[in-house]
Each structure stands twice: as structure tokens, then as C-alpha cells.
Structure 1
Amino acid sequence: MRAGLFIAGIILLVAGIWVIAGNGSYRQTETLAQLGSAKIEATHTKAVPQWIGIAGIVVGGLLIVGGIASKKR
């Protein structure tokens, strides 16, 4: 259990730092026009919001602390 908390915490912490550094993005495709089976689509690359990175860092840190604290019991 504590090893799982520790590993999950590290993964969330690293992912949060990755997003804060500006490297997190996703693609969104939307249909602009459609006529029968033909359609015109646009694909946009959008950045992941900074608050998600901050939340990942906070939750990851809490999980790491929880994994270390449960080890001492």
C-alpha cells in the first residue's frame, strides 16, 4: 500500500511539473462544415491549464508524504 502511494505520488508530481513547464498539450478536432459525407474539420493544439499542473503537484506531494508517513507506523 505505501509503495503504491509513493509511486502514484511521484507520477503525479512529475506530471504536474511537466504541465507547469508548458509541455502539456492536447488536440481538439471540431467540424467546421458538413455537406453529406464530406466534412471540413479543424484540429487545434491546446495547452493543459496551469491549475491542473498545480493540483497534480499538490496531490502528488501529499501522496508521497502519506506513503512515507505510513511507513513509520
Structure 2
Amino acid sequence: MRIALMVIGIILLIAGIWVVAGHGSYTATETVVSVGDHALKATHDKSIPQWAGIAGIVVGALLTLGGLLRKR
């Protein structure tokens, strides 16, 4: 349990730093026009919000510290 907390915390911490550094993004596709069976779709690259990165850093740090300070 202790090792699992530390591993999950470190993963969240690294992912949060990645997002805050501006490298986190995802692709969103939306339908612009739809006529019958045909559709015109647009694809946009959107960045993950900064608050999600900061939350990942905070939660990751808490989980890592919890794993380190937990008694066996």
C-alpha cells in the first residue's frame, strides 16, 4: 500500500509538471455542418487547463509524502 501511494503520487506529480509546463494537450473533434449522411468535421488541438496541472502537483505531492511518512 505504501509503495502504491508513492508510485501514484510520483506519476501525478510528473504529469502535473508536464501540464503546467505547457506540454499537455488533447484533440477535440466537432461537427460543423451535417447534411444527410455527410458531415463536415473540424479538429482542434486544445490544451489541458493549468488548474488541472496544479491540482495534479498538489495531489501527487500529498500522496508521495503520505507514502513516505506512513508507518509500516
TM-score (norm 1): 0.95
Residue 7 of structure 2 is aligned to residue 7 of structure 1: yes
Mapping 1:1-73, distance limit 5 Å: 1-70=1-70, 72-73=71-72
Aligned residues: 72
| Residue type of the alignment partner of 1:19 | V
The separation in 2 between residues aligned to 1:12 and 1:34, in whole angstroms, is 40
Identity of aligned residues (%): 60
- Alignment RMSD, CA only? 0.8
Q: Deviations over 1:25-71 (max 9, x none)?
A: 0111000001111100000000000000000000000000000011x
The separation in 2 between residues aligned to 1:35 and 1:24, in whole angstroms, is 34
The separation in 1 between residues aligned to 2:53 and 2:15, in whole angstroms, is 7
TM-score (norm 2): 0.97
Return 5+ residue gaps in structure 1 as ranges: none
Return 5+ residue gaps in structure 2 as ranges: none
In the TM superposition, structure 1's runs of 4+ consecutive aligned residues that sit over 2 Å from their partners are none
Q: CA deviation at 1:11?
A: 0.1
